[in-house]
Structure 1
Amino acid sequence: MLVAAVLALVAGCTGTSSDASATGGTTSSPSSSAPAAPPAQVALSIADGAADVSPAQPLEIDVTAGELDDVTVTDGSGAPVPGEVAPSAEDAGTAVWTPAADLAYGTSYTVTATAAGAGDQVTTETSTFTTVTPRSQDKPDIGPLDGTTVGVGMPVRVFFDEPVADKAAAERNLTVTSSTPTDGVWSWVTDSEVHFRPSTYWPADTDVTVEADLFGVDLGDGVWGEVDRTVSFHVGEAHVSVADAAAHTLTVTSGGQVLQTYPMSAGSAENPTHNGAHVVLEKFADITMDSSTFGLAADAPGGYRTPVKYATRISNNGEFVHGAPWSVRQQGSSNVSHGCINLSDERARWFYEFSQPGDVVEVVDSIGGTLGPADGDIYDWAVPWDQWQAGSALS
């Protein structure tokens, strides 16, 4: 060996041969060999035989004393699963195999990783694991819809198919980003519905993206997330109206500038309009108001079935801003409606054309109670901010 030859040469230069001759001894060249290089070591993040694995769990490969050469994954039938390997964003010494398409639930997979060590030594590590079989899979709906423009009062709403047992797990995988940063927080309004809003209305002209990365997430009670979803929407101009039930006026603003102040009639003493920030939900050029939709027969005392024009819904308890030509004489002086904001047809048409879903109508000084859960989907702004924050599973 080269090392032995070098040692022999050094020995000759220091007189070892003459010393040996003087003593009558014999000489021999000392021998030495370098220690064998250790083989590469491969460690897989999912143990062999693991069961009930999330199909979204990262498959990480750590290699020491060598270089990763190849990673293959096959399903239970032996068919290859397409994917690619890239360095981990969190650990430079770790590689991550990512499938080209999501792994399936209730399926067996085998991963084989090969690494080359010194002297062309090859090390192979294999792991076979099985992904979890859910009792059911949840694919929640998200509002606002992708690509829409909404008003400054529209919260983000996520509707799950069934009650969520592990709300914290769900919430950790819901992300909202906006072009104008806010202090928004998620809050659970029911066991199957969670909303996101800032402490005050959204800033106007803001782009918002909602990412629900729920595939492979254990939501508890045997329910797992079915898919990942991304929704983007735009917050438009700041349309905020104030319906003052005591002054009998509807004041409409855009970007803080007053556009209209209309005489109106709010809910009567028997059917007062609810106080609080209402949110525009939908609009109808023509609709028939029917008391039977909230349990009062149209032919019963106080019941009604009345066609109206230019109806802008502001809650799901039957409250609209709409045309009411029969109450024009009371508009501006008294409250005679069944809870709606009555305007003349001409003024209701202007408001109808002006409004967009998510606009805000703040009802003040009504003798009625405050908007709440019994009034339907969106009563979010009536909830004090500290209570709203307390509704987060991560608070």
Structure 2
Amino acid sequence: MLVAAVLALVDGCTGASSDAAGDSGTASPSSSAPAAPPAQLALSIADGSTDVSPAQPPEVDVTDGELDDVTVTDGSGAPVAGALAPVDADTVAWNPAEDLAYGTAYTVTATAASAGDQVTTETSAFTTVTPRLQDKPDIGPLDGTTVGVGMPVRVFFDEPVTDKAAVERHLTVTSSTPTDGVWSWVGASEVHFRPSTYWPADTDVTVTADLFGVDLGDGVWGKVDRTVSFHVGEAHVSVADAAAHTLTVRSGGEVLQTFPMSAGSEANPTHNGAHARGAGEVRRHHHGLLDLRPGRRPPGGYRTPVEFATPISNYGEFVHGAPWSVRQQGSSKVSHGCINLSDERARWSYDFSQPGDVVEVVGSVGGTLGPAGGDFYDWAVPWDQWTAGSALS
């Protein structure tokens, strides 16, 4: 009887469950969640690519998963050191610890795992470009120097640059006092940067040329990246008035000296316009020989010892001591284009000056400083013409 009661109780319980199930319909068979899709990998450099810039870091785009690892090996299979850096929410870049080499085979391998731990691997083999030539840019002013407010930034190349826009996109200038500076090409292999007016005094400037791996055109590629920092010192701006025969020296707008001088004669006039001390192809010298090279001499060019000379253009124009013309200084123009001072005054000027100080020549019967004057005719170019010289204008 006890057994029967227990069975009845069990049947009753079972019946209640069946009825309850019946009230809500037939129970659905158990079902599992859909399987996670495999991770998808996309490499920025397609397999088999050639002529790849060594400055182009491989990028990996991941969907439906998380990136596990990215490795790069060279043609011998040796691993290349590098690190990953995020580009956006789905993309990372592999950046080498040292620049990749030109003309070298590499293989990039990326792995990622899906939510279900399914591993996906993608591989791409590529070869970097082999340049016809590699060009290393030179930059002026030199790193760590102090210059005047008239010193332009200059970047020189060994070869003519075909893709000037590509170069400009990889040149940056930052300054502690912001300026409106613009790059302008002054030749096929030379580009300069200057603001619309002279640099602000007491300004720190950094020039970055990220040109390694940049196609300069015609098979020429950038060889290295370079960074140069310099300081713009006090605002030394002098006015050489050829008509009044005076050299007025200012610092920060304050007149420090007004010297009698002799400018270029009627036959060999000094060029008008803003010159910059330390310009040209000759460094300033305490004791030296003023030697105007064949092909660049003014009429009646000469070769003579001078004291305390600083070049202001490649026309052969200097500020220098000229004891032979002291009697004419302050009253007439007798030089071959230079600014003649007494040795004592030239020494003061020499000691005071810094490369890039401005000498504005006015009142001369000569033309205006121009491209034939060499590196530092920049300030004689009207601003609209200067900006038009940019390949990005």
Partners of 2:120 and 2:347 lie apart in 1 by: 76
CA shift, 1:384, in A, is: 0.4
Q: Which amino acid aligns with 2:46?
A: A
Q: Which amino acid aligns with 1:271?
A: N
CA shift, 1:216, in A, is: 0.9
CA shift, 1:34, in A, is: 2.1
CA shift, 1:259, in A, is: 0.2
CA shift, 1:291, in A, is: 4.6
Partners of 1:255 and 1:296 lie apart in 2 by: 35
Aligned residues: 375
Task: Encode CA deviations 1:150-182: one digit per residue, 9 max, x unaligned.
Answer: 000000000011100000001111000100000
CA shift, 1:19, in A, is: 11
Task: Encode CA deviations 1:238-266: one digit per residue, 9 max, x unaligned.
Answer: 00000000000000000100000000000
CA shift, 1:115, in A, is: 0.8
Identity across the alignment (%): 81
CA shift, 1:30, in A, is: 2.1
* Map of 2:82 onto structure 1: 83
CA shift, 1:305, in A, is: 2.7
Partners of 2:247 and 2:321 lie apart in 1 by: 13
* Map of 2:154 onto structure 1: 157
Q: Is the 8 A contact 2:296 2:315 kept in 1?
A: no
Give 5+ residue unaligned stretches, structure 2: 1-13
Partners of 1:28 and 1:291 lie apart in 2 by: 106
* Map of 1:205 onto structure 2: 202
1:262 and 2:259 aligned:
yes
* Map of 1:272 onto structure 2: 269
The 5 A counterparts of 1:163-202 are 163-202=160-199
In structure 1, which of residues 331, 334, 337 is the aligned counterpart of residue 332 of structure 2?
334
Counterpart secondary structure, 1:52:
strand
CA shift, 1:229, in A, is: 0.6
TM normalised by structure 2 equals 0.91
Counterpart secondary structure, 1:308:
strand
Partners of 1:283 and 1:329 lie apart in 2 by: 25
Q: Is the 8 A contact 2:41 2:62 kept in 1?
A: yes
In structure 2, which of residues 220, 225, 230 is the aligned counterpart of residue 228 of structure 1?
225
CA shift, 1:188, in A, is: 0.2
Task: Encode CA deviations 1:179-205: one digit per residue, 9 max, x unaligned.
Answer: 000000000000100000000000000
Instruction: Name whichever of 63-72 and 194-203 sits farther off.
Output: 63-72
Task: Encode CA deviations 1:317-373: one digit per residue, 9 max, x unaligned.
Answer: 111111111111110000001110111110000000001100000000100111111
Partners of 2:361 and 2:127 lie apart in 1 by: 56
Counterpart secondary structure, 2:331:
coil
Counterpart secondary structure, 2:116:
helix
Instruction: Name whichever of 305-314 and 234-243 sits farther off.
Output: 305-314
Q: Is the 8 A contact 2:213 2:223 kept in 1?
A: yes
The 5 A counterparts of 1:6-85 are 15-16=20-21, 30-85=29-84
Structure 1 pair 13–131 and aligned structure 2 pair: CA distance change class (3 A): farther
Instruction: Name whichever of 363-372 and 49-58 sits farther off.
Output: 49-58
* Map of 2:128 onto structure 1: 131
CA shift, 1:101, in A, is: 0.3
* Map of 1:283 onto structure 2: 284
Counterpart secondary structure, 1:194:
strand
CA shift, 1:118, in A, is: 2.2
Partners of 1:334 and 1:14 lie apart in 2 by: 126
Q: Which amino acid aligns with 1:54?
A: S
Partners of 1:190 and 1:18 lie apart in 2 by: 92
Task: Encode CA deviations 1:125-160: one digit per residue, 9 max, x unaligned.
Answer: 111111111111111100000110000000000001
1:119 and 2:116 aligned:
yes
* Map of 1:24 onto structure 2: none
Structure 1 pair 16–386 and aligned structure 2 pair: CA distance change class (3 A): same
Structure 1 pair 12–159 and aligned structure 2 pair: CA distance change class (3 A): farther
CA shift, 1:302, in A, is: 3.7
Q: Is the 8 A contact 2:184 2:390 kept in 1?
A: yes
* Map of 1:306 onto structure 2: 304
Partners of 1:143 and 1:184 lie apart in 2 by: 16
* Map of 1:23 onto structure 2: none
Task: Encode CA deviations 1:371-390: one digit per residue, 9 max, x unaligned.
Answer: 11111111000000000000
* Map of 1:92 onto structure 2: 89
Partners of 2:18 and 2:373 lie apart in 1 by: 101
* Cα RMSD after superposing both structures: 2.1
1:387 and 2:388 aligned:
no
Instruction: Name whichever of 117-126 and 270-279 sits farther off.
Output: 117-126
CA shift, 1:308, in A, is: 1.2
CA shift, 1:49, in A, is: 1.0
Partners of 1:316 and 1:111 lie apart in 2 by: 52
The 5 A counterparts of 1:234-253 are 234-253=231-250
Give 5+ residue unaligned stretches, structure 1: 1-8, 21-26
* Map of 2:359 onto structure 1: 361
CA shift, 1:58, in A, is: 2.5
Structure 1 pair 14–195 and aligned structure 2 pair: CA distance change class (3 A): farther
Partners of 1:311 and 1:138 lie apart in 2 by: 34
Structure 1 pair 202–303 and aligned structure 2 pair: CA distance change class (3 A): closer
In structure 2, which of residues 129, 141, 160 is the aligned counterpart of residue 144 of structure 1?
141
Partners of 2:28 and 2:170 lie apart in 1 by: 69
* Map of 1:4 onto structure 2: none
